[in-house]
Amino acid sequence: MRENNNTSETIAVFGAGGFIGSHMIEALTATNYKVLAIDVDLKKLAEVLPDSTNVTTIELDITKDREKVEELIKDSDIVVDLIAYANPSIYITDPIGTVTLDLFENLWITELCVKYKKFLFQYSTCEVYGLDNGRNQPFNEEESLLVVGPINEHRWIYSCAKQMLERIVHAYGIKEGLDYIVIRPFNFVGPRIDYLIDDKDEEGNPRVFSHFMSALLLNKPLPLVDGGINLRSYTHIEDATDAFMRILENRQQFNREIINIGTPENETSIRGLAELMIELYNEETGANFSAGTVDIPSEEFYGEGYADCDRRIPDNSKIASLGWKEKYNLEEIFRDAIRYYIKNNEFVTQ
């Protein structure tokens, strides 16, 4: 990661204790930014912060300590908003909670950035693009339509909440001069990605990797929702973090724009991913994983109201224009993540 020796600005990172946030904070320790790492749970930062650091950790709930949040934004130069529910299970079981956090609470942070004239990095989601519907083209930030399913497919409430937030951020840029960049991540994977599922927790995880990794460690079949035919492209979290750091350093070039971060070359079906992870797990452990995979209807796995996109790959020409190129191919991404969870496994492998 490139060091930044030309700034003494303060950057407030909300959601710093999550998967993306913990890697972002780790990268920012190599800069001269004064960093405020803010979240309700900062355990993931324990393994990334050196003894002497430019990072101040602050544990708080933005929904409860509003005066403190306003103070932190007022005293910062740059705000990074990573706060969101990123879990399809929650979109189905708690759609109101999803839209409350992902739209309304984030909107409040946006309005504080408008009030105090701060530069906002708003992390969104590639899910705003919605359904591919056979168009089979990479999603472009300026040209692709944002198409979702009917209201009774309330899985799309997350996508709609994030899309609405983007539209309001854009409007504040036009009407109030808000400086911002919206980032749309495409399937980041790597160490510290998520908690895993054990026998006592069947609620589900935000990302497919965690379901598959948990199944491998517990010697259970890897669940393929609706046969695992949908296609996704994956990006290693180190590559994704490098992309963010490049954008941060060149933020005026992309002011008031949307940027995809993703790797179209690293595409596979969910079924193909399951097969790859089984192969890598066997290589890394010397095991002979025999539980295989199991096809599960989406309604059984997630509940009524679930829907999905058949293919989701990014046009990443904007980030490539900054000299960014992924370092990890598909196999390397998942080998690295699998090694991390084998090393840190809290389960008793059966």
Q: 277 near 338, Cβ under 8 Å?
A: yes
Is residue 166 situated within a structural domain? Answer: yes
Q: Which residue has the tokens 């909670």?
A: 97
For 180, the 3-state DSSP assignment is strand
Is residue 95 situated within a structural domain? Answer: yes
Report, as an integer, the average pLDDT of 311-320.
Answer: 95
Is residue 202 situated within a structural domain? Answer: no
d(CA 41, CA 205): 17
Backbone angles phi, psi at 256, to 5 degrees: 65, 40
- In terms of average pLDDT, the best of 118-132, 183-197, 333-347 is 118-132
What is the domain range of residue 112? Answer: 10-194+234-265+312-328
Is residue 2 situated within a structural domain? Answer: no
Residue 94's nearest CA partner among 297, 305, 309 is 305
Is residue 80 situated within a structural domain? Answer: yes
The CATH number of whichever domain residue 44 belongs to comes to: 3.40.50.720
Residue of 33, 85, 123, 158 marked active site: 158
Q: Tell me whether residue 8 is exposed, middle or buried, using C-beta atoms within 10 angstroms of its C-beta: 0 to 12, 13 to 18, 19 or more.
A: exposed
Residue 191's nearest CA partner among 20, 22, 340, 346 is 340
With bands split at pLDDT 50, 70 and 90, how would you rate the model's confidence at 198? low
With bands split at pLDDT 50, 70 and 90, how would you rate the model's confidence at 88? confident
d(CA 54, CA 34): 5
What is the share, in percent, of the chain residues with pLDDT greater than 70?
93
d(CA 315, CA 296): 31
Is residue 245 situated within a structural domain? Answer: yes
Each residue of 61-94: b (16+ CB within 10 Å) or e?
Answer: ebeeeeeebeebbeebbbbbbbbbbbbbbbbbee
d(CA 111, CA 327): 37
Indicate the number of domains in the chain. 1
For 249, the 3-state DSSP assignment is helix
Is residue 343 situated within a structural domain? Answer: no
341 is catalytic: no
Is residue 342 situated within a structural domain? Answer: no
DSSP symbol at 206: S
pTM score: 0.93
d(CA 242, CA 23): 10
